[in-house]
A and B are shown apart, each in its own frame.
Chain A
Amino acid sequence: MQSSEILPHLFRNEYTKIVSVLCKHIGFERLETAEEIASETFLTAAETWGIKGTPQNPTAWLYAVAKNKAKNYLQKNSVFQNKILPELTKSQQEPTGSEIDLSPENIYDSQLRMMFAVCHPSISSEAQVGLSLRILCGFGIEEIADAFLTNKETINKRLFRAKEKLREEKIAIQLPGAEEIEDRLDPVLSTIYLLFNEGYYSISQNKTLRKDLCLEAIRLCSMLVENKITDKPQVYALLALMCFHTSRFEARQDENGEQILYQDQDTDLWNHDLIVKGEIFLNKAASGIRLTKYHLEAGIAYWHTRKEDTKEKWENILQLYNRLLQLQYSPIAALNRTYALSKANGKEEAILEAEKLNLKDNHFYFALLGELYLDINRFKSEENFRKALSLAKTSHDKISIQKKIDQFSK
């Protein structure tokens, strides 16, 4: 790796670790100081490495510099020294309150605690996702803005307000107790889920960024299953779901960035390793009594990794959508259920059901009707595709619907 590539790569991985460890050490109130120390560490690295070349062990170098900077900060900060440090040394197990521990165990522990702190229910889910991207995944403000299709100022403001709020509420950087874990785990899982969806369904043009978002979501969820307190069935279910989806990542888009529909995907591009991993995690998810939406969605995603187009497959998918919709309604799930119904019980039945859905401002709704009428009534099929075209918002959607309409004139 060239030295110019090493730093950005290290930044993504090590920035978040340094911030988490420092925060655990000096308290969440000093999150900004921790971020500053981490940023300065990378600035120093950029300057020094540019002149002297990359050190043999860049990570160890970064940790040593971060430790020194933190020590300097602690020494200079007299308020901290005189008022807070005595308190800290009292409450912490290790008597040397000023020793900063960058061992792998402590990094893991700090990041896990940080995950629960930034996903605290006192801040909005948007802010939870933003802070996770910044503090746990090391994304730049610009990248976060790109993922959310907004500008840097909005993201800066959002993150600033969220940090203020967490400070005001005096959120501790610690894992919740056993009795609290189920409740506190829910927002953590939704954040990871949103992070993943941001990567998987985002219309942002930056494909590398989107895939990174998916992989980061998988990494965070993997951290949860590695811990005894947090390795709950719903966590395994979410992890399975993300593995199954990510396995089809490369097959979903052509070289021009255009979406490829499921039935047209080149299955050779599916990632077999991720499918196998997903199956292992899905098995582990099958315990306990709580059936979550992650279980149902993972089940649906599992059946989508089966290549053969059997009645059994679509029957299973249909039943999973039936249950999912009873748990939580969404228009997309309703449309997908109707598609599964057409594959399991036939198009006529699906058309009757589709017409009850009442999603008249949704272009996917008319595209589905167009698809269902295709071999039954060509006139109605074309009419529905035209309605879909008039409602479609993105150019990608318009292009793929136009292609369907063009087939009628052939």
Chain B
Amino acid sequence: MDEYLILMRLDLITKDAQPSPEQMQTYMKMYQDWVGGIAAQNKFVGGTGLSTEGKVIKSGQIMTDGPFAETKESIAGFITIKAKNFEEAANIAKACPILNGPGNSVEVRKVVGVDNTH
């Protein structure tokens, strides 16, 4: 079993795309059911949601507020899972409920150590 990172990307800047509190509750439930299902297979390693505010520091010590100024695809959260291979990890990621929103995406990356050169 390897570890895979699932990055969840959402549009966090367009006003119309932001959910109402009620919608938010429904989304949270769907999200928890999805993660709960992964955890029930003993394939959940860790993960969390992220705040919508942020700071971006660029080379030359240039700092901007929020990662969202240039893109509608911001990282809203991530989880790490255990899977046999990319295919299994991608299958788990396919069921991620944020994919119900148009324009949203998830990205699956295999976790490798910094000293791991393969």
Contacts and interface: CB of A to CB of B under 8 A. Distances in A.
A322 B35 contact: yes
Interface stretch (A41-49, A260-268, A352-360, A395-403): A352-360
> A-side binding surface: helix, strand, loop or mixed?
helix
Nearest to A353: B37
A353 B92 CA distance: 12
Interface stretch (B15-23, B38-46, B70-78): B38-46
Interface centre among B33, B35, B40 (most CB of A within 10 A): B40
Nearest to B45: A326
Interface string A325-353: 11001000110011001000100000001
A353 B29 contact: no
Given A322-B35, A326-B35, A334 B29 contact: no
Give chain B's interface secondary structure class. Answer: helix
A325 B29 contact: no
B36 interface: yes
Interface residues on A, range: 10 to 19
A344 to B, nearest CB: 9
A321 interface: yes
B32 interface: yes
A243 interface: no
A318 interface: yes
A358 B29 CA distance: 24
A357 B40 contact: yes
B41 to A, nearest CB: 5
A253 interface: no
Contact of B36 (A315, A326, A357, A358): A326
A337 B32 contact: no
Contacts of B41: 334, 356-358
Nearest to B37: A353
Contacts of A321: 36, 40
Interface string A56-97: 000000000000000000000000000000000000000000
A271 B40 CA distance: 32
A189 B35 CA distance: 28
Contacts of B35: 322, 326
Nearest to B28: A319
A323 interface: yes
A354 to B, nearest CB: 9
A315 B41 CA distance: 20
A315 B33 CA distance: 10
Nearest to A341: B33
Contacts of B40: 321, 325, 329, 333-334, 337-338, 353, 356-357
Nearest to A325: B39
Interface string A354-378: 0011100000000000000000000
Given A322-B32, A334-B42, 8 more contacts: A322-B36, A325-B36, A326-B39, A326-B44, A329-B42, A334-B40, A341-B33, A356-B37
Interface of B: 29, 32-33, 35-37, 39-42, 44
